[in-house]
């Protein structure tokens, strides 16, 4: 894992965007898996700004949703779908055939996870996976557990996830999430891990010990050969 300590959130966002942009310049058909939340927002804002200057670079970009709260409607402002649509899909003019996502209000969530997994299995490994570090070390909704799932699955959310900033405006907080599994995350050619914001110092200290455990899903990133981790000073 290549670690870069940054002075602030803006430096994290710029460094991560630069890494994405360099990959995009090398492959116009780049596929990216995108997390939601505050940590990657600055990266996506830079993508949107760059798209205004160089729209031709984004005409073949493919986007995969990392995870979704189960049970929300897709037009709920607190849903991951709403975030991704407004931060990535619409600003970058991503067409429907270049976007793979979970239907968060699916009647049969297990079948929905199988559908997304089949789509991922057809594709080449993801080129870039953009992740945030959860306060309990989760990646997407791959929560700390005795064992971790390799494939897309419905996950029972930890209390840490239920109290996420995205749930603050939810009338009924979800108890489950749909998420890409650890295998597809770890098969990604490049992983960008963003560590920003308060309350991350304890889990970051655990991650930096390099001890790999299913109780800290992010620790499995030490097994990957191409991880870039950007850390802002607020998280230390």
Residue 177 phi, psi (nearest 5): -135, 155
What confidence score (pLDDT) does residue 119 get? 97
Answer yes or no: is pLDDT of 24 > 90. Answer: yes
Average pLDDT, the chain: 95
Q: What structural domains and CATH numbers belong to the chain?
A: 2-235 (3.40.50.1360)
Q: CA 230 to CA 158: how far, in whole Å?
A: 25
DSSP string, 59-128: TT-EEEE-EEETT--TT-TTSHHHHHIIIIITTTT--GGGEE---TT-SSHHHHHHHHHHHHHHSPPPSE
Residues forming the active site: 67, 136, 138, 143
β-strand partners of 231:
5, 195
What confidence score (pLDDT) does residue 214 get? 98
Q: pTM of the predicted model, to two decimals?
A: 0.96
Q: Give tens-digit pLDDT for 161-206.
A: 888 777 767 777 899 999 999 999 999 999 999 999 999 999 999 9
């Amino acid at each position: 894992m290549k670690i870069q300590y940054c002075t602030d959130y803006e430096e994290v966002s710029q460094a991560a965007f630069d890494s994405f942009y360099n990959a995009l310049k090398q492959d116009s058909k780049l596929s990216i898996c995108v997390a939601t939340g505050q940590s990657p927002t600055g990266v996506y804002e830079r993508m949107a700004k760059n798209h205004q200057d160089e729209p031709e670079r984004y005409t073949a970009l493919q986007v995969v949703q990392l995870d979704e709260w189960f049970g929300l409607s897709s037009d709920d402002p607190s849903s991951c779908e709403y975030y991704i649509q407004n931060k990535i899909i619409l600003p970058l003019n991503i067409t429907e055939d270049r976007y793979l996502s979970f239907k968060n209000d699916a009647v049969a969530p297990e079948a929905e996870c199988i559908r997304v997994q089949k789509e991922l299995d057809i594709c080449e490994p993801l080129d870039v996976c953009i992740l945030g570090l959860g306060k309990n070390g989760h990646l997407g909704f791959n929560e700390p557990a005795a064992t971790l799932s390799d494939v897309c699955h419905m996950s029972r959310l930890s209390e840490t996830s239920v109290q996420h900033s995205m749930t603050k405006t939810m009338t009924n907080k979800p108890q489950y999430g749909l998420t890409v599994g650890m295998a597809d995350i770890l098969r990604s050619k490049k992983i960008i891990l963003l560590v920003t914001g308060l309350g991350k110092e304890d889990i970051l200290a655990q991650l930096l010990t390099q001890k790999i455990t299913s109780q800290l899903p992010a620790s499995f990133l030490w097994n990957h050969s191409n991880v870039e981790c950007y850390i802002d000073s607020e998280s230390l």
